[in-house]
Structure 1
């Protein structure tokens, strides 16, 4: 599914680069250390965004952000979003994607670092979709946080748990986790219940 979506996305801009760009994405997201931030995450994100497609102004740019937002993901680094955004901008320049849209894509990816509300509704919808897993049923949420733990398996609990608690408490401290009515209605209540439950297990 993802390959067909990507091919349809890139085709109008640069047919020659299709397979090379897709293979690069596939290779990055299929790395053995990717337990959560992988192609399954991209599929889930696409499904969430497709359900609110009519609310999105620039569908192509949102899709490019989807494919590139976690392309660089190393759990030992704290600049993954910046690195991913720069690689996205580089690849979009190579296929002659419009400069203003490329910059919007870059900002969309950078926004996944803080998930704070911004004036651009497409960005808010994108970052909300990226957090949609927080509001899923408990079994899917549990699988998600276990996969994230595996990505940080080189850290012992004594180091990992405080950091994870800080992230979870940050979400709970927010008036709303989700910035858009669409995702807030779907997932806000359940997300906070899931986070509180996970905190009791750390």
Structure 2
């Protein structure tokens, strides 16, 4: 176990606070916090905020004292640190506001989705990925001409994520139908029409293979927004690969590495990664470099 805690130096709410982190996995951090009786409300994307009064107790339970600089260095080296620029947008309150703007009056649906996206076993397929996909859609569609079904599909596309390729997408699509179809207005009219629900379902299912037809603009938007991380800066791409590996920590290296390399090689050989003009221009070249570099590491 490698749970770290820095000194209580950060003032708020009439006391000083420490940061509790793990440089191994978020799962380890959640397990330690649960044993210590620290509620999930104290979790802030990559750390728990804990008051000064609990510092000595947590050290006695096994948290290793360290200074702030070393804590951040270890967290970043493990690929677990959520950078400052990504933190505000990935917080639940920010995402809840985006959901309310998209589908007013359906807060209970947004709450259920955010509960799912915040499940503790998710290292990559969590709120940061949801935020990145929604932000990428804004890049692809700055004038917001896409129908509402496109952002709705991004909200639902990994709402079910147990690591079962194909099955997760099918279950996410079914969840979209289950949650959206019953919504009605005060006059009894559907909030989301039956054709729109069907389109959301279709777009979610498309993320199982990311192969929209050439004339499927909405499908291209969803596919490109979901895959945008492939074209990110090298340090962000490396963090993505580490997050994916943690989600499959139960798979031994001798199985994971060739399987992952094979999937990536299929991406490189399958034609353009991105299907929109903007996605192609911005992300195609860096995505191919990132993916090729990862394949070389996996095959080494």
**TM-score, scaled relative to structure 1:** 0.92
Does the alignment pair 1:106 with 2:201?
A: yes
Matched residues in 2 for 1:56 and 1:164: separation?
35
Output one character per residue of 1:147-192: Cα deviation in whole Å (capped at 9) or x when no partner.
Answer: 0000000000011112101110011102211111110110111111
Matched residues in 2 for 1:129 and 1:25: separation?
18
The 5 Å alignment of 1:72-91 reads 72-76=160-164, 78-91=166-179
Does the alignment pair 1:159 with 2:255?
A: yes
**TM-score, scaled relative to structure 2:** 0.63
Unaligned runs of 5+ in 1: none
Q: Is the 8 A contact 1:57 1:122 kept in 2?
A: no
Segments of 4+ in structure 1 off by > 6 A?
A: none
Output one character per residue of 1:125-150: Cα deviation in whole Å (capped at 9) or x when no partner.
Answer: 11011101101111000000110000
Does the alignment pair 1:10 with 2:106?
A: no
Unaligned runs of 5+ in 2: 1-93, 184-189
Matched residues in 2 for 1:39 and 1:101: separation?
24
Instruction: Indicate the RMSD between aligned Cα atoms, in angstroms.
Output: 1.4
Aligned residues: 197
Output one character per residue of 1:61-108: Cα deviation in whole Å (capped at 9) or x when no partner.
Answer: 112111111000001464000000010011110112111111111111
Matched residues in 2 for 1:76 and 1:179: separation?
25
Matched residues in 1 for 2:216 and 2:235: separation?
33
Highest Rg: 1 or 2? 2
**Structure in which a larger fraction of residues adopt strand:** 2
Tell me which of the two structures has the higher relative contact order, counting C-alpha pairs closer than 8 angstroms and 6 or more residues apart.
1
Report which stretch shifted further, 189-198 or 48-57: 48-57
